[in-house]
Amino acid sequence: MLVVLSGPGGAGKGTIADALVAADAHLSLSRSWTTRSPRVDDAPDAYVFVDRGEFERHLEAGGFLEWNEFLGELYGTPVPEGEGDLLLEIDVSGGRQVAERFPDAMLVFVEAPDEGELRRRLVDRGDPPDRVEDRIVEARRERAAAAVLGYTTVVNDDLEQAVAEIAGLLASRRA
């Protein structure tokens, strides 16, 4: 099964994804490719960082399950290899592509408790101010699109609780 985790940058998707995968032997994390530059808070293995040329060659060769341009940078999920359930931390546009190809995919939208908190988290992680505002506008757009696509929303106020909630959704899907 494919599990799609979407939500604004700063909502805590990455931390939630790591916690879910660490606690579940049958779930692994898909590592996306991106053309954006590494950020200070990125884990070294957060993405496969490539230039536009390399991304486009991989795309033309059919190497992506889905891909999207987000704020001027390309992001894509490589075609999965291996067994078990796969967790994709991707935007809602990617989630739409996955849902079209795999109607059984589980779609979860992770939210910060409110927009003020989202802004604070984005600033704290070192996004430049103009980028923060772009991401907030994008978050509003994504929230509306996710509702239409039938995403389940999980508010990340308390991390452990959010992780438990998603693990519960996954367990009931598998059952």
Question: Could you list the residues that contact ligand 5GP (CB under 6 A)?
Answer: 9, 32, 36, 66-68, 70, 75-77, 89-91, 93-94
Q: Considering only the C-alpha atoms of the chain, give the largest distance between any 2 of them, rounded to a whole number of Å.
A: 45
CA–CA separation, 78 vs 11, rounded Å? 24
Query: Please, what is the minimum distance in Å from the beta carbon of residue 175 to ligand 5GP?
Result: 27
Query: Please, what is the minimum distance in Å from the beta carbon of residue 26 to ligand 5GP?
Result: 21
| Nearest residue to ligand 5GP, scored by beta-carbon proximity | 94
Pick 36 or 120: Cβ nearer ligand 5GP? 36
Query: Please, what is the minimum distance in Å from the beta carbon of residue 104 to ligand 5GP?
Result: 19
Pick 144 or 171: Cβ nearer ligand 5GP? 144
Pick 110 or 170: Cβ nearer ligand 5GP? 110
Phi, psi (rounded to 5 degrees) for 135: -70, -35
Phi, psi (rounded to 5 degrees) for 2: -100, 130
Pick 49 or 165: Cβ nearer ligand 5GP? 49
DSSP output for 117-167: HHHHHHHHTT--HHHHHHHHHHHHHHHHHHHHHTPEEEE-SSHHHHHHHHH
